[in-house]
Amino acid sequence: MAVLTGREHRLSARARRTKEPQISWLLKKPLENPNIISLAAGLVDQQTLPARLIQQLVAELFENEDAAKRALQYGTTEGEANLRRLLASRLEQAGLQGPIDPENVVLTNGSQQLLFLATDVLVDPGDIVLVEDPTYFVYMGVLDAVGARTIGVPTDDEGIIPEALEETLRQLAADGDLPRVKLLYVMTYFQNPKGSSHSWRRREQIYEIIERYSSDENYIYIIEDAAYYELKFEGEDVPFLKTLDPQNERVLLAMTFSKAFAPGLRLGYGYLPSELTPHVLNQKGNHDFGSGNLAQNLVYHALKTGAFDSHSAMLRTRYQRKRDIMLDVLRSKFPPEVKYLEPKGGLYVWVTMPENVSTSPGGRFFEEALAREVLYVPGCYCYAQEEGRQKPDNQLRLCYAYIEEQPMIEGLHRLADACVAALR
Ligand SMILES: Cc1ncc(COP(=O)(O)O)c(C=O)c1O
């Protein structure tokens, strides 16, 4: 039990459960020391941000004073009707069974807000949320804040291992805890931190297992976080897991304009089961009355004119090149016992060191890296913390998105040296 200081005992239980992310100190390090090369920062590529395009879209919008004033006014909680209709039709084009009711498409401040709202609407303290092992660590902060019990389900290169999911649910049922399972959170495309995607077969298996353990009384929802959907460099197109839910009952699909366009617009959206939409909107109304109207107008025009699609095509080429450079250095400069996944999209490479090499802060490898002024995300931050369960401690996430090519190569060389030193 943490010791409370000052007036902390007057804080709500929720505020006390909400902690600064463990990783914050690490992300702040390069600000203190500009010589540090961060392969940890998960920001998008600065050079490619669509500044000119947005300037042009703003200029066009502001030519019509009425339209400009509408964009500067409050909007609706759910978001601009035109944009929601357009997004619904784009989801249909992407393979979701239509007609998709735009009423269930909700604009949010990034997909992070959608994850937050959906969790708030579904999860009480003590409820269970299943996540991938490893998972998006920021979402685990949201789960901690609501007091959820987060359970990690082992994954391999194709996503959640069906037998492991089945075993987890079987055990929960045997312990009488199945009624507390509210959600499975799954990233289907180029997940953060592993960079791997769920194969179609896995999507089907996961859906089937969840359906089987779910009942009307103890219904289990799935959040499909498809944040990196647009950033596919190669490989086949795999349909959304959401396509397995044509009645729109179980899967909340979370999408964002951050990764393939501009995170500063803070715009994402959800396609939600109709039963949940009003509840998410009630919470969102309390938060902010609705996402920024101006950003929604700009995104609408970027989509309508094709500018968004050409921009994301350009990004794919750029990120693919950066990924190739990172993989080349990993291949040529790192000791052969260091293994890594080759992502077919997204922003991350997941590296596994030999089992006796800890990548955690305080460990030899981390200190060797820090001494050489290079940073990575220690894998330990990406695993659900469950008492009594041993988690891998020998992995790390590298990001090739934000960093320029030359510093990236230099940073990887430093990391390779740190590896050699840690393995000695
Ligand atoms: C998997 C995943 N989901 C959601 C988000 C939230 O991003 P945003 O709120 O910018 O859409 C991120 C951001 O890094 C992410 O990696």
CA distance 195 to 340: 10
CA distance 218 to 102: 28
User: What is 344-382 written as a DSSP string?
Assistant: SBSSEEEEE--TT---STTSHHHHHHHHTTEE-EEGGGG
| 134 in contact with ligand 1, CB cutoff 6 A | no
| 111 in contact with ligand 1, CB cutoff 6 A | yes
Whether 412 is in a domain gets the answer yes
Whether 254 is in a domain gets the answer yes
Domain stop point among 253, 270, 305: 305
Sign of CA dihedral 383, 199, 142, 171: negative
62 and 201 housed in the same domain: yes
The tally of CA atoms less than 13 A away on the side-chain side of residue 195 is 25
pLDDT 10s digits, 68-102 = 999 999 999 999 999 999 999 999 999 999 899 99
Whether 117 is in a domain gets the answer yes
Q: What is the pLDDT of residue 21?
A: 83
The number of domains in the chain is: 2
297 and 318 housed in the same domain: no
Average pLDDT, the chain: 96
181 and 206 housed in the same domain: yes
152 and 188 housed in the same domain: yes
pLDDT 10s digits, 367-410 = 999 999 999 999 999 999 888 888 899 999 999 999 999 999 99
Whether 173 is in a domain gets the answer yes
Q: What does the DSSP 8-state code read for residue 232?
A: B
Q: Locate 71 and state its tokens.
A: 């964009």
User: Which residue carries 């929802």 as its tokens?
Assistant: 221
CA distance 350 to 256: 22
45 and 56 housed in the same domain: no
At 341, the amino acid letter reads: L
42 and 169 housed in the same domain: no
| 78 in contact with ligand 1, CB cutoff 6 A | no
> First vs last Cα of the chain: how many Å apart?
39
Q: What mean pLDDT do residues 322-350 have?
A: 97
Q: What is the pLDDT of residue 29?
A: 87
Residues 6+ apart with CB under 8 A from 162: 202, 205, 206, 209
351 and 402 housed in the same domain: yes
76 and 197 housed in the same domain: yes
| 187 in contact with ligand 1, CB cutoff 6 A | yes
**176: pLDDT strictly greater than 90:** yes
**2: pLDDT strictly greater than 80:** no
Q: What is the pLDDT of residue 109?
A: 98
222 and 371 housed in the same domain: no
**Closest by CA position to 267, among listed 298, 229, 242:** 298
287 and 362 housed in the same domain: no
Domain stop point among 254, 289, 305: 305
Whether 1 is in a domain gets the answer no
| 110 in contact with ligand 1, CB cutoff 6 A | yes
Atom of ligand 1 nearest to the CA of 42: 14
Whether 283 is in a domain gets the answer yes
If you measure from the C-alpha of residue 43 to the centroid of ligand 1, how many angstroms do you get, rounded to a whole number?
10
Q: Whose CA is nearest to atom 5 of ligand 1?
A: 112
pLDDT 10s digits, 9-51 = 899 999 999 988 888 888 888 888 999 999 999 899 999 999 9
Domain that holds residue 43: 20-49+310-423
| 256 in contact with ligand 1, CB cutoff 6 A | yes
Q: What is the pLDDT of residue 23?
A: 84
CATH number at residue 395: 3.90.1150.10
Q: Whose CA is nearest to atom 14 of ligand 1?
A: 42
Q: Whose CA is nearest to atom 2 of ligand 1?
A: 227
Whether 10 is in a domain gets the answer no
pLDDT 10s digits, 91-145 = 999 999 989 999 999 999 999 999 999 999 999 999 999 999 999 999 999 999 9
Domain stop point among 274, 305, 336: 305
| 365 in contact with ligand 1, CB cutoff 6 A | no
User: Which residue among 49, 136, 155 has the greatest number of ligand 1 atoms within 8 angstroms of its CB, and so is best to mutate?
Assistant: 136
Q: Whose CA is nearest to atom 16 of ligand 1?
A: 192
If you measure from the C-alpha of residue 227 to the centroid of ligand 1, how many angstroms do you get, rounded to a whole number?
6
Tell me which of 4 and 72 has the higher pLDDT.
72
Q: What does the DSSP 8-state code read for residue 387?
A: T
37 and 140 housed in the same domain: no
CATH number at residue 221: 3.40.640.10
245 and 352 housed in the same domain: no
Q: Please state whether the predicted TM-score (pTM) of the whole model is above 0.85.
A: yes
Atom of ligand 1 nearest to the CA of 256: 11
Atom of ligand 1 nearest to the CA of 228: 1
Q: What is the pLDDT of residue 407?
A: 96
Atom of ligand 1 nearest to the CA of 111: 11
Inter-helix orientation angle 307-333/293-304, to 10°: 90
If you measure from the C-alpha of residue 111 to the centroid of ligand 1, how many angstroms do you get, rounded to a whole number?
6
Atom of ligand 1 nearest to the CA of 112: 9
Whether 142 is in a domain gets the answer yes
